Amino acid sequence: MNAASDASRARRPRFAVRAVLFDLDGTLADTAPDLGGALNRMRERRGLAALPIAQLSPVASSGARGMLAAGLDVHPGMPDYEALREEFLNEYDAALDRDSVLFDGVRASLDALVEHGFAWGVVTNKAERFAPRVLAGLGLRTPTLICGDTTAHAKPHPAPLLEACARLGVRADEAIYVGDDLRDVQAAHAAGMPAVVAGYGYLGAAAEVSTWQADAVIATPMALLELIELAS
């Protein structure tokens, strides 16, 4: 390893934590194919062409709101928004585990965390109506799952992260949160824990990750292991 590589490695943050919390959509899993599928079925019903999933992926972390905006130009506050939102949710409910997959390296990174004694959990804004079934379809069993309607507030409020820490029996400063959206960083910092951005994830449309003030950005799921102090 050359001197430049040594210097780069030395500048990387190292987090001494007991638990790692993850966002779901765009962080652990590529769920855009099923979210986009729900939207495209709505478009086809209206005589519109299906949109490429790659075009919809950047807004997948925003769920129904992001999909309806990208695919039908419908936004909260518009007269027909709530009806279309319910239609979208029903479409998603009917086929939410057909094509969603874990990102490459996620399962190996989770196995490594467990092997080294870390607790882990999922904190998502996806509703309890959907999240457990999505995880089951992905073959993931997490010790702790906090959904968008588990607590009184969803991210970027810190309540879901704090609830996850309470269930895992760790303090907020003993955990880190990994997500792919600005609100994930905001929620983590509000809860008093470091925020790591999944740079391989959705990141939102025209995202400027450098302005999010995250504590670290990882290019692959396995890169997370380089940021935390593993037990020897």
For 48, 52, 61, 89, 205, the CA distances from 72, given in Å and listed in that order, are 10, 14, 17, 14, 16
What CA–CA distance (Å, rounded) separates 168 from 170? 6
Instruction: Give the CA diameter of the chain.
Output: 61
What CA–CA distance (Å, rounded) separates 107 from 161? 22
For 59, 220, 225, the CA distances from 108, given in Å and listed in that order, are 26, 11, 10
Please state the φ and ψ torsions of residue 134, each to the nearest 5 degrees: -65, -45
Are 169 and 147 a contacting pair, CB within 8 Å?
Answer: no
Please indicate whether residue 23 is annotated as part of the active site. yes
What CA–CA distance (Å, rounded) separates 56 from 41? 14
Q: CA torsion angle for 110, 115, 116, 117 (degrees, to 10)?
A: 90
Are 34 and 25 a contacting pair, CB within 8 Å?
Answer: no
**Which is the catalytic residue, given 6, 23, 25, 93?**
23
Peptide bond into 143 cis (omega under 30): no
Supply 221's token pair.
Answer: 């799921």
Instruction: Please report where in the chains the tokens 């994830």 appear, as a residue.
Output: 201
Active site residues: 23
